[in-house]
Amino acid sequence: MPRGRPPAYTRDQVVTAAVTVADTDGLEAVTMRRVATEVGAGAMSLYTYVPDREHLIDLMVDRVAGEPVPPRVTGDWRADVLALLVMQRDLMRAHPWLPGVLGGRRLTGRNLLGFLEHGLRALEPAGLPGITKMTLLGLFTGFVASYVTGELTSDPALAAVDIGAAVTSGNFPFLRKALIEGGGGPLEFPAIADWMIAGLVEQARHQQKAG
């Protein structure tokens, strides 16, 4: 039987509140005080459930990583990995703060490790060293993150450019032309993701043979 005063909240509540705040008001709104208020607790009470803010973000990542149910692995590694990346993309679009916190983050938590496990299982038939498979999965996820970041900035490149400066001065003729001319819808994610998967795996095989 547990001794001492029983907890009034749970770690899950805290993480859930943090994710909700991040989803609605962005990651910078995830302050200890704000999350505590959302939970209904005092600010310092959070530290019973979480060692610090950085760790809380780790938990947020692992939380949302547990939302989607990964599709069955069929044995067709190319299709299986593609399905995984499509899932990752959907996840990042549902939680726009996710791509931004993924870089360089330590992989902790059951769900995140589960993601990795699933990817490794999907890549198994491709026949590569384990470390190489992990490297590839990291590259894939990074690619998805940067693709989604582009998507979320609403119009990948156009909106991100200080158009006035570019077009006014005559110093950027190609940029000027690219901005003026229209055409060319957005690149479809599944197609380019599929290409990436096949291409990088093939590359890894080549380098394996050569090295």
Partner DNA sequence: AATCTTTTTGGTACAACGTACGGGAAAGGG
Partner DNA sequence: CCCTTTCCCGTACGTTGTACCAAAAAGATT
The residues in 92-121 that bind DNA, with binding defined as CB under 7 A, are none
First to last CA, the chain: 58
Cα-to-chain-centroid distance, residue 14: 21
Q: In this structure, what token pair is assigned to residue 93?
A: 């679009």
Q: How far apart are CA 135 and CA 203, in angstroms?
A: 13
In order of 5, 23, 156, the CA distances from 99 in angstroms are: 39, 12, 15
Q: Binding mask 136-175 vs its own copies (x if CB under 8 A, - otherwise)?
A: xxxx-xxx-xxx-xx-xx--xxx-xxx--xx----xxxxx
Query: Using the rule CB under 7 A, is 202 a contact of DNA?
Result: no
Of positions 18, 21, 41, 148, contacts DNA by CB under 7 A: 41
The number of beta carbons lying within 10 Å of the beta carbon of residue 20 is 13
Tell me the window of 27-35, 90-98, 148-156, 198-206 that interacts with DNA (CB under 7 A): 27-35
Name 149's Cβ contacts closer than 8 Å, sequence gap at least 6. Answer: 99, 100
Q: Binding mask 51-80 vs DNA (x if CB under 7 A, - otherwise)?
A: -xxx--------------------------
**CB closer to its own copies, 6 vs 184:** 184
Query: Using the rule CB under 8 A, is 111 a contact of its own copies?
Result: no
Query: Using the rule CB under 8 A, is 181 a contact of its own copies?
Result: yes
Residues that bind DNA (CB under 7 A): 1-9, 30-34, 41-45, 47-49, 52-54
